[in-house]
Amino acid sequence: MPGAEALNAAARRVPRGAIYVLGALPAVFLLQGLFAGSLGPDPAKVVERELGLTGLQFLMAALAITPLRRIAGINFIRHRRALGLLAFFYIVLHLAAWVVLDFNLLWGEMLRDILKRPYITVGMLGFAAMLPLAVTANDAAIRRMGAAAWQRLHRLAYLAALAGALHFLLLVKTLTPSAVLHAGAILMLLALRVGWAIRRGRIRTLRGA
């Protein structure tokens, strides 16, 4: 793709730390809005929702790195870890907002909901899938585990994204454009992987089986 080379060169010049700083800005704005009282009548819900949505979008961005490289030749792989860790950071904050702002530490209520409410169960599952990824998001872990095992483990990102999409779809009262678009984009990102795996013969098609 024309322009890809220039983009790649530019991406190489962006220090890794810059992504973390820029990525933290939405959280800073939310916190500022919370203290300034500018988030409307239900600030708790706004904070909770925006943190969740931002986390999901960072996860989608991390999952877009490989397709961008393979399809368009744009290589942002240098920044994928930052995107993944930012996704985790926002999902942790999303969970904290649920615990503190939404449920005011009513642990019994929350536990019942985790077990009984499919969208919360699925959301928790997505969070759980991200934990080992965050813990191993460093060079030491890759060396210790070996690249192949590390890559296998990090396929949990697909599960996390799928859980995130489902969590979103299950919680809306009517299918909102936002929920449908996010879920659609995630399905596309995952479908690409399935397509590549089939082509490599890693997944046997029905005829092959």
Partner 1 sequence: MNGQGARLRYSDVTPERLWFDRRRLIAAATGAAAAGLLGLPARALEYRKSGYSTGDEPNSLSDITSYNNFYEFGTDKGDPKRYAHRLTTDPWSVEIDGLVARPGSYPLDDILKGMPLEERIYRFRCVEAWSMVIPWIGFPLASLLERAGVEPGARYVAFETLVRPEEMPGQRQPILDWPYREGLRLDEAMHPLTILATGLYGQEMPNQNGAPLRLVVPWKYGFKSIKSIVRMSLVEKQPPTTWEMENPREYGFYSNVNPQVDHPRWSQATERRIGASLFSARQPTLMFNGYAEEVAGLYAGMDLKKQF
Radius of gyration in angstroms for the set of CA atoms belonging to the chain, rounded to a whole number: 19
Assess 40 for contact with partner 1 (CB under 8 A).
yes
Q: Provide DSSP, 104-147.
A: TT-HHHHHHHHHH-HHHHHHHHHHHHHHHHHHT-SHHHHHHH-H
The answer to whether residue 180 forms part of the interface with partner 1 (CB under 8 A) is: no
| Interface residue with partner 1, options 104, 132, 146, 197 (CB under 8 A) | 104
CB of 46 to partner 1, least distance (A): 10
Looking at the Cβ atoms of 45 and 193, the one nearer to partner 1 is 45
**113 in contact with partner 1 (CB under 8 A):** yes
Q: Which stretch binds partner 1 (CB under 8 A): 63-71, 84-92, 115-123, 145-153?
A: 115-123
The C-alpha angle 136, 141, 84, rounded to 5 degrees, equals 30
Q: Does 119 bind partner 1 (CB under 8 A)?
A: yes
- Using an 8 Å Cβ cutoff, are 129 and 163 in contact? yes
Residue 202 near partner 1 by CB under 8 A: no
Task: Kindly tell me which residue out of 17, 107, 147, 173 binds partner 1, with binding defined by CB under 8 A.
Answer: 173
Q: What amino acid is encoded at 73 in this protein?
A: G
Which of 43, 73, 134, 153 lies at the binding interface for partner 1 (CB under 8 A)?
Answer: 43
Helix residue spans in the chain (DSSP H): 4-13, 16-36, 43-67, 80-97, 107-116, 118-135, 139-145, 147-153, 156-171, 177-199
Rounded to the nearest whole angstrom, what is the least distance from the CB of residue 184 to partner 1 in the complex?
17
CB of 38 to partner 1, least distance (A): 12
Tell me how far apart the alpha carbons of residues 102 and 105 are, in angstroms, rounded to a whole number.
8
List of residues contacting partner 1 (CB under 8 A)? 34, 40-45, 100-104, 106, 109, 112-113, 116-119, 170-171, 173-174, 176
